[in-house]
Amino acid sequence: MGMLENLPKTSEKVFGTMNVNSAIVGIQQARKRVAYKLANPRIAKIHYHLIRHWFGTMEYHKTHDIDHVRRLLGHKSVLNTQIYVNMEQAMFTSKSDEYIVKAAETVEDAQKFLEVGFEYVTDMDGIKLFRKRK
């Protein structure tokens, strides 16, 4: 509170008047700063819609449920959501047959494996086996 009290009081709002255009400019400047700092000009091209496409594609890849993705993104028609199916198929065409295999002796171990994306395969001698694609 002390730091806020010391700020110059030019308006009733703490950070001044903020409209959509100034927010957009602020985000663009932040992207440019990060792109310059990391010496990666592609970062400056990232925008919210690109993040939305990435999220939709990854959600479809995890669930393979087009109706779930449609509802999540607020699309009225499945045809609009079809782009994420096409992107997922293009990105994940080559599925490796190599797996990371883990064995869980306790419920806590099994829970940890499931939380990081392993799938349950079978029980063998009282030990639960999980796998995850490399």
Domain boundaries, the chain: 20-91, 99-133
Instruction: Give pLDDT tens digits for 83-106.
Output: 988 888 888 876 666 888 999 999
Q: Which residues pair with 104 in a beta bridge?
A: 128
Query: What is the pLDDT at residue 36?
Result: 93
pTM, rounded to two decimals: 0.49
Instruction: Give pLDDT tens digits for 13-72.
Output: 666 666 767 777 888 888 899 999 999 999 888 887 888 898 999 998 888 899 999 999
State the DSSP code for 39: T
Tokens for 125, please give them.
Answer: 């001698």
In 10-77, which ranges are continuous DSSP H helix? 20-37, 48-63, 66-73
User: How wide is the angle at C-alpha 65 spanned by C-alphas 110 and 49, nearest 5°?
Assistant: 105
Tokens for 126, please give them.
Answer: 């009282």
